[in-house]
Structure 1
Amino acid sequence: MILYQSAPDSPVVEISVEGKITDRELRATIERMRDDLERNGKTRVLEHIEHFSGIEPKALWTDLTLGVPLARKITRAAVVADAGWVHASMHLARFFTKAEVKAFRVDELEQARAWINA
């Protein structure tokens, strides 16, 4: 499941991910992100991942072909996750975005929000 939250007057987007990501959900999220980028220009993203159980193969391809080009337009990203592999893989983000990226533990959600808004 993907929950996407944004306000028209804010450059900050919050995306919550739980369970398995489907291609349909991911495409809808990418479309909303595209709209926010067009409206706000520089966009910051806080992604909150808990109980992640995978991604459909088709959604993985969608992420690579449609999501990565959008990631290059993000200026700052905070990733809040309960999975150690997410934190360990943060160094790979530099291949997909020029954004400043920082990882936070689930119990640091409020710190991540403060950092993304700074």
Structure 2
Amino acid sequence: MILYHTEPDSPVIEISVAGKITDHDLREAIERMRGDLELNGKTRVLERIEHFTGIEPKALWTDITLGVSVARKVTRAAVVADAGWIRASTHLARFFTKAEVKAFHVNELEQARVWINT
């Protein structure tokens, strides 16, 4: 499941991921992000990932073919996750985006929000 949230006139997008990511959910999030990028230009993303159980193979392909081009337009990303392997893998983002990326534990959500807005 992917929940997508923005505030009017804010360049920050908050995305919450829980459970399994479906292709349908991912496509919807990518399209909304494209719209926000067109509206706001430079965009920052705070992604909360909790209780992640996987991603559909089709969604993985969608992420590679559609999501990477959108990710390249993000200027800063905070990844807030409960799983250590997710936080540790954020260094791989450098292959897909030029954004500054920083990982946070779920109990550091407020620090992530401060960082994403600075």
TM-score normalised by structure 1 residue count: 0.99
| Residue of structure 2 in register with 1:84 after alignment | 84
**Which shifted more, 1-10 or 107-116?**
1-10
Displacement of 1:113 in angstroms is 0.2
1:2 aligns with 2:10: no
**Which shifted more, 43-52 or 88-97?**
88-97
Report sequence identity in percent: 80
| Residue of structure 2 in register with 1:111 after alignment | 111
| Residue of structure 2 in register with 1:56 after alignment | 56
**Residue 104 of structure 1: SS of its match in structure 2?**
strand
TM-score normalised by structure 2 residue count: 0.99
| Residue of structure 2 in register with 1:73 after alignment | 73
Alignment of 1:24-63 (within 5 A): 24-63=24-63
Displacement of 1:26 in angstroms is 0.3
Task: Output the aligned Cα RMSD.
Answer: 0.5
Unmatched 5+ stretches in structure 1: none
Displacement of 1:87 in angstroms is 1.5
How many matched pairs? 118
State the 4+ residue runs in structure 1 displaced beyond 2 angstroms: none
Amino acid at match of 1:100: E
**Residue 89 of structure 1: SS of its match in structure 2?**
helix
Unmatched 5+ stretches in structure 2: none
**Residue 47 of structure 1: SS of its match in structure 2?**
strand
Deviation string, structure 1 residues 30-73 (Cα, Å, up to 9, x no partner): 00000000000000000000000000000000000000000000
Amino acid at match of 1:42: K
